[in-house]
Structure 1
Amino acid sequence: MVLVTGGTGLVGSHLLYFLLKKNEPVRAIHRKKSDIHSVKKVFALYTSEVDSLFNKIEWVEANITEIPALTVAFKGITKVYHCAAFITFNPSKYKILKKANIEGTANIVNLCLANNIEKLCYVSSVATLGNNLQNQLVTEETSWNPDEKNSVYAITKYGAEMEVWRGTQEGLNAVIINPGVILGFSPDGGGSGVIISLGASGIPYYPSGAMGIVDVQDVAKAMIDLMDSEITNEQFILVSENVTYKELLSKLALLFAKKPPTKKLSKKIMLFLSGMDWLSNKLFMTKRRLIKANVRSMFTLSFYDSSKIKNELGFQFIPIETTLERIAKETGKASN
């Protein structure tokens, strides 16, 4: 039986569908407050047999930071897909990030070792990779630079990777994927939903940065392909295309019959607003909405090379136009 953590999230929910589609017996863990039935919204995008497919999942209430419940969830498991993570770029949330992403992953690794799990697939991020000089493509060999202004999220995801590599030194077979910005419908409205909403709204402004993007379907399929392969103790960048924010927002605007953005944002002004946002939080306890790490990423040119998975698995990514057209339809379908 296969175990999936983070089954109600963006990656986990789509992964569950593709695992069930190939008739894999699946157990998924969920936190007490999570809505497992929200996964049906994702299944409905693929099939009309939503309930029959959903009912094949064995749901277990467990948090990756709670070892007793996790221990029960691991009984009879042969493979583990670790998708669960806490995502925020707010420095004040570092302790929560560390506990969930680093300690939680350490728990998963330790239980994999204790239960002789055949293979672990860990969902990391391109945020854990370093930046090459002169805008060269970032590869799996691009080293993490601790002296960079890394976000607290990136720091904890890198720490989680170290736990996985530690596990491989102790005999665990594992693969790590490093996806870029994942585009797709999320049952909780998170993930890339903010970017989709901005593009769909026809926002007139755009930042000057660039990023690597990937379809959530590609992420799920790559994970399954890697787990079914003989490849172990390797990591793979998952980026279908590198695009500027202007390009992505323009493509989305046109799909939603809106005007593409034409006004370039000022980095200095955005950093000033971020500072005011921080001050407001300290003085009046308002919610942080413009984290400095997010602002820096909006103005950073990040380009990634995903040729490794293409060469080793013959993997083919879904074209960005196909992804965005599908998301536009999914967004309309979900709102009806």
Structure 2
Amino acid sequence: MQRVFITGSTGLVGGHLLVQLYLKGSRIKALVRQQASFEQLRLISDFYAVPFQELHRAIEWTYGDTLDYVHLKEALMGTEVVYHCAGLVSFGKGQRDALLRTNVKGTANMVDAALLAGVNHFNYISSIAALGKESDTGLIDEETSREMSKPVSDYSESKFFAELEVWRGAAEGLPVSILNPGVILGPGLPDRGSLLIFNVAAKGIPFYTDSQTGYVDVRDIARAAITLVEKNLTGKRYVMVAENCHNKDLFALITNAFGKKPPLIRAGLGLLRIAVWISSLLSWFTGKPSQLSKDTLRSIAQPECYSSQRIIDELDFAFTPLQETINDTALFVKNLPKEKQKRVSQK
């Protein structure tokens, strides 16, 4: 029975990964913060028809975080495989220090603890944000160069430097693999992260932005991470994008799944800049972090297309079609208990 260690197990990716590993019979130890909520993991376990109490009893929980290296050193002893899914995702203003601390320092600590424990495989869930953007073919892949002089989001920078920590570990003898998922969709709480779009779509979306990026099913990410470990493929990163989709088309697919009208009004850069300014003003008055920033604007204004040919070729990997992901996620949201639909309108 394989001994695995997971971070971020109460999040979307980590939750799906944990349940899939449990169903495969792995012996799992999971790192969780003292104040962590198990609400999302409970919903994910229900999605897989796994009784949550049964799942919870089967996992060895260790309470702490990736910034506590002393705790990590002890927690990872005896571990064969590490899946590092924990991280901070934010494009909001004023989050740079938190992003670098959580994503870079936290990953460095995980790498050092894994080296000390003699881990056989360290799998890191990164992001397409860590990739380069200067592609001659128009498709961004694992080898696309990254122009360091060009401005990027703080989140992009944090994931790039986190990957450097993983490659440092590889240079010191740690077998590693990296997944670079696009925007992650799939069954989970609709009031968190990228799934917020389903929250909004349930009410109808009048606007769309002239942007394009890559999307992937969370179940595929978990399946790919497990397969990389099973096949012992190390030393590479793998883009995880099922389909590249224009923002307008994505919103149309999601609103259609909820029986709502598709967006018809294009939100240009001028309108987006006004939205960023209003968000910053509200942040100043309320003292709460702004949810929109120049980083948000930059990410929206750059249409990008990605290629997942490497993982398709090396693993004979078949991605879940985007339409299927959206339909499954919308159905999951619709079937949530009423108390879980806090901000999801079914009208």
Instruction: Identify whether the pair has TM-score above 0.5, normalized to the shorter chain.
Output: yes
In structure 2, what is the equivalent of residue 206 of structure 1?
A: 208
In structure 1, what is the equivalent of residue 131 of structure 2?
A: 129
In structure 2, what is the equivalent of residue 307 of structure 1?
A: 309
Over 3 Å counting, the alpha-carbon distance change for 1:248 and 1:81 in structure 2 is same
3-state DSSP of counterpart to 2:95: helix
- The amino acid that maps onto 2:44 is V
Which of these residues, 20, 23, 33, is aligned with residue 22 of structure 2? 20
**CA shift at 1:196, angstroms?**
1.6
CA distance in 1, matches of 2:325, 2:283: 37
Which of these residues, 174, 177, 182, is aligned with residue 176 of structure 2? 174
**CA shift at 1:286, angstroms?**
4.6
Which of these residues, 110, 117, 123, is aligned with residue 108 of structure 1? 110
In structure 2, what is the equivalent of residue 293 of structure 1?
A: 295
- The amino acid that maps onto 1:180 is G
CA contact (8 A) 2:5 2:79 kept: yes
In structure 1, what is the equivalent of residue 162 of structure 2?
A: 160
**CA shift at 1:38, angstroms?**
4.0
3-state DSSP of counterpart to 2:332: helix
In structure 2, what is the equivalent of residue 326 of structure 1?
A: 328
Moved more, 167-176 or 72-81: 72-81
Which of these residues, 52, 72, 75, is aligned with residue 74 of structure 2? 72
3-state DSSP of counterpart to 1:192: helix
CA distance in 2, matches of 1:280, 1:52: 44
Aligned 1:265-280 pairs, distance under 5 A: 265-280=267-282
- The amino acid that maps onto 2:43 is K
CA distance in 2, matches of 1:7, 1:233: 24
**CA shift at 1:100, angstroms?**
0.8
CA distance in 2, matches of 1:235, 1:74: 23
- The amino acid that maps onto 1:221 is R
- The amino acid that maps onto 2:310 is K
CA distance in 2, matches of 1:18, 1:166: 29
In structure 2, what is the equivalent of residue 238 of structure 1?
A: 240
CA distance in 2, matches of 1:200, 1:146: 39
3-state DSSP of counterpart to 2:202: helix
Aligned 1:27-66 pairs, distance under 5 A: 27-36=29-38, 38-66=40-68
CA distance in 2, matches of 1:196, 1:187: 10
Over 3 Å counting, the alpha-carbon distance change for 1:35 and 1:286 in structure 2 is closer
- The amino acid that maps onto 1:255 is A
Answer yes or no: is 1:317 the counterpart of 2:319.
yes
CA contact (8 A) 1:62 1:73 kept: no
CA distance in 1, matches of 2:46, 2:229: 26
**CA shift at 1:49, angstroms?**
3.2
CA contact (8 A) 1:39 1:187 kept: no
3-state DSSP of counterpart to 1:329: helix
- The amino acid that maps onto 2:167 is W
CA deviation map 1:311-333 (0-9, x unaligned): 00000001111111110111012
CA contact (8 A) 1:135 1:301 kept: no
**CA shift at 1:135, angstroms?**
7.2
Over 3 Å counting, the alpha-carbon distance change for 1:133 and 1:311 in structure 2 is closer
- The amino acid that maps onto 2:113 is L
**CA shift at 1:54, angstroms?**
2.8
CA contact (8 A) 2:134 2:147 kept: no
**CA shift at 1:278, angstroms?**
2.5
CA deviation map 1:280-311 (0-9, x unaligned): 43466354132221122223211000010000
CA distance in 1, matches of 2:62, 2:135: 46
3-state DSSP of counterpart to 1:150: coil
In structure 1, what is the equivalent of residue 343 of structure 2?
A: none
In structure 1, what is the equivalent of residue 250 of structure 2?
A: 248
TM-score by length of 1: 0.95
Structure 2: stretches of 5+ with no match in the other structure:
339-347
- The amino acid that maps onto 1:171 is G
CA distance in 1, matches of 2:59, 2:92: 34
In structure 2, what is the equivalent of residue 224 of structure 1?
A: 226
**CA shift at 1:152, angstroms?**
0.6
- The amino acid that maps onto 2:4 is V
CA distance in 1, matches of 2:168, 2:50: 43
Over 3 Å counting, the alpha-carbon distance change for 1:68 and 1:286 in structure 2 is closer
Among all aligned residue pairs of Structure 1 and Structure 2, give the percentage whose two residues are the same amino acid.
33
- Deviant stretches of 4+, over 4 Å: none
Which of these residues, 251, 257, 260, is aligned with residue 259 of structure 2? 257
3-state DSSP of counterpart to 2:178: strand
- The amino acid that maps onto 1:98 is L
- The amino acid that maps onto 1:109 is V
Over 3 Å counting, the alpha-carbon distance change for 1:38 and 1:202 in structure 2 is closer
Structure 1: stretches of 5+ with no match in the other structure:
none
3-state DSSP of counterpart to 1:201: coil
CA distance in 2, matches of 1:164, 1:322: 33
TM-score by length of 2: 0.92
Over 3 Å counting, the alpha-carbon distance change for 1:98 and 1:207 in structure 2 is same
CA distance in 2, matches of 1:335, 1:293: 35
Number of corresponding residues: 336
Over 3 Å counting, the alpha-carbon distance change for 1:25 and 1:284 in structure 2 is closer
